[in-house]
Amino acid sequence: MKILSWNINGLRTLKRPLKETLDSFNADIICFQETKVSRSLLEEELAIVEGYSSYYSFPRWQSGYSGVATYCRDSCQPERAEEGLSGLITGQNCHDDSLGFNGNFKEFTSQELMLLDAEGRAVVTSHEVQCNKKVEKLVIINVYCPRADPEKPERADFKLRFYYLLQKRAEKLVQNGFHVIIVGDLNTAHKPIDHCDPGDEVEFSLRPDRLWLSSFLGECSPNEDNNKEHDITFIDTFRHFNKSHTEAFTCWMTSTGARQTNYGTRLDYILCNRNFISHVMSSIILPEIKGSDHCPIAIELRCDPVASRRCPSLCTKYWLEFVGKQQKLSLFLRQPVQVTAQITDFQPVNSYIPKRRANSHSETVSKKKQNVQKISQKSITSFFVPQTSTLQTTIPSKQGILDSVDNSTNSNLNIFTTIDHHYSSKNSASSCYSNPHMLFSHTACVSDDEKSVNIIPSGSSETSMICSHDAESDCNSDGNLSSQSSTKSFSLKCENITKNFLQKSTYCVLEETDEQYQNPSFTLNTTKNNQCQEYHINNQMEKQKQLWKSVLCGPQPPPLCKGHKEPCVLKTVKKQGPNNGRQFFTCAHPEGRAENPEAKCNHFQWVNPPKVKGKR
């Protein structure tokens, strides 16, 4: 039988599915601490896992804080389960799952007991195990003890009261004939060997939480009489098998990268009562398993689990939100998903739909498709197009610029325009655009009787540019277009807009002939002008880039640390006080022992040193 414990630092932060994680441990009982999940946010994938039964304890006052969970294989299904150490929470819900402890102690008031259990720090499960062909009762206490915050003195008292309640509950269970195993994060490094930087050993051992742990394990504290008799109730299983093992840590600071140099503390324990230590085969630490600031710990027992016939009522599979009898409030607050039906052409099966009905249906669909108008977003430049005077010019048509006006028309109308700000035309019909955005949107009209194309810039009511149709285009003998008579409007898209359109101050649409396009000197001059303008644009952009670099110079490079001569890292003071929010440089190496050359050196430098006031 194998029992594993791990401070997971957030159950929802697991990178793999929970079932895959549980199976990888190959353990019968898995105890998680610091799950950081409340019941309202617990997902079914975490609460109900195939092959396991789970038991949770949640904080009552604060969400995303504390919390423990115990997962048991079906082969190790518990007989009873309780939430909390006092037994009051489970006693109020189901008296049948009580382990014979109702919290009636003179040292605690009922209000204090409820406060100690309100943070979701303990789950108690009772099992039957077969040891040496004898069935024994074994209780697993999965616990996450409070942390003594130096800035909150009242939390130190709360921690000691929680320890005292844990001790009373465990001793009571042993007196009632149970074997007890306490697993979890006790938030205390017991001895100097369990700490990376203990300092003075005498002062280290005099802290109240360490004094309690020494007393709980039946060891003499430095200020007590060595001849005093102690009732050794519980034993640290890891130190029982590894008395002198150094640097055996289970917790590291992730902010300083201390895990790389194994600069941490041993805060996680598996304790058992003295009479049960003979059934423990081994107790190990698993630092190779990552995913949290803690690593798992585990023990193996010379016992075989005996599964119970039914799960206790605390099991998550009995919760109403997971059995379909009650829905979560969050389901009613979700926005309904709107499904938009899309009309598509399809041919119904004739064996199920009559032919007349199928034809009418397809006609209806085709009519609906014709009525659907595609709404496209306008370009922002269309709102800045001014109204201009009429532009009219006659330009021979070329191939491939205008699409066909109608499906029945096979002729192609083509427009050729040449833009040059150095060219001056004698034709009074040519005019200049003072705004380049006018080229972005036009409307063209084809008239049968005039054999021309009217191009109306957007925003204009009566301006047009008439482009004559090519003599070689498809026309009738009378000179009319072969298309059916009707004036159609369509959109002329400007696909290629070069840098010349954006930099010129005036844009002239001029009348050009085929000889001009075929003249090599005309093409050469245009290419040279484009190259000059491109060089001018790049030169201006480079000047602006250098100007902005001089204004926004960016942060200065970090200094080099004294120990390794490598760039430092920038950090910010988050602790409340006069230096809160200030930035400083420190060594980028992970924290470690001073004799370790790969560890962090003592380099420290403020970004903005405090000003020294001059003497008056």
Residue 398: helix, strand or coil by DSSP? coil
Which pLDDT belongs to residue 335?
64
The DSSP letter of residue 135 is E
> 548 φ, ψ to 5°?
-70, -30
pTM of the entire predicted model: 0.63
| C-alpha triplet 376, 378, 380: angle, nearest 5° | 155
Q: Minimal CA–CA distance to 296: which of 255, 342, 250?
A: 250
Closest of 28, 5, 100 to residue 306, by C-alpha:
28
Q: Which residues of 482-495 are buried (b: 16+ CB within 10 A; e: fewer)?
A: ebeeeeeebebeee
**Whose CA is closest to 592, among 235, 194, 197?**
197
The pLDDT value recorded for residue 538 is 87
Cβ proximity of 33 and 11 under 8 Å: no
Residue 614: the pLDDT is: 55
What is the reported pLDDT for 222?
Answer: 44
Q: What does the alpha-carbon distance between residue 240 and residue 274 come to, in Å, rounded to a whole number?
A: 11
Provide DSSP, 434-470. Answer: S-GGGGG-EEEEEETTTTEEEEEETT-SS---EEEPP
Residues paired with residue 571 on neighbouring β-strands, in sequence order: 584
For strands 134-144 and 234-236, give the pairing: unpaired
Question: Cα separations (Å) of 87 from 9, 28, 157, 314?
Answer: 26, 25, 22, 12
Q: Say how far apart CA 164 and CA 140 lie, in whole Å.
A: 18
Q: Using alpha carbons only, what angle is made at residue 546 by residues 545 and 548, rounded to the nearest 5 degrees?
A: 65
Q: What is the mean pLDDT of each run of 10 residues along the chain (616 residues)?
A: 96 91 96 94 92 94 89 95 88 61 72 92 96 92 94 92 94 92 97 93 92 89 44 87 94 91 96 95 96 96 94 92 69 56 40 42 47 56 57 42 41 38 40 42 42 43 40 42 42 45 43 48 67 85 84 81 90 89 90 86 85 56
**Coil, strand, or helix at residue 85?**
coil
Side chain identity, residue 64: G
- Distance, CA of 410 to CA of 395 (rounded, Å): 20
For residues 156 and 581, what is the distance between their CA atoms, to the nearest angstrom?
27
Which residues are annotated as catalytic? 144, 185, 294
Give residue 378's pLDDT. 64
Q: Give the full edge-to-edge strand order of the sheet including 442-447.
A: 466-468, 452-457, 442-447, 489-492
pLDDT of residue 375: 52
Give whole-number Cα distances, 586 to 562, 601, 606, in Å: 10, 8, 9
Residue 150 burial (CB < 10 Å; 0-12/13-18/19+)? exposed
Residue 226 confidence (pLDDT): 44
Q: How far is the CA of 171 from the CAs of 233, 267, 273, 351, 486, in angstroms?
A: 8, 22, 9, 80, 101
Whether the CB-CB separation of 445 and 464 falls below 8 Å is answered with yes
- Going 482 to 484 to 488 to 493, the CA torsion angle's sign is negative
The rounded radius of gyration (Å) of the Cα atoms in the chain is: 42
Instruction: Say what the pLDDT of residue 391 is.
Output: 41
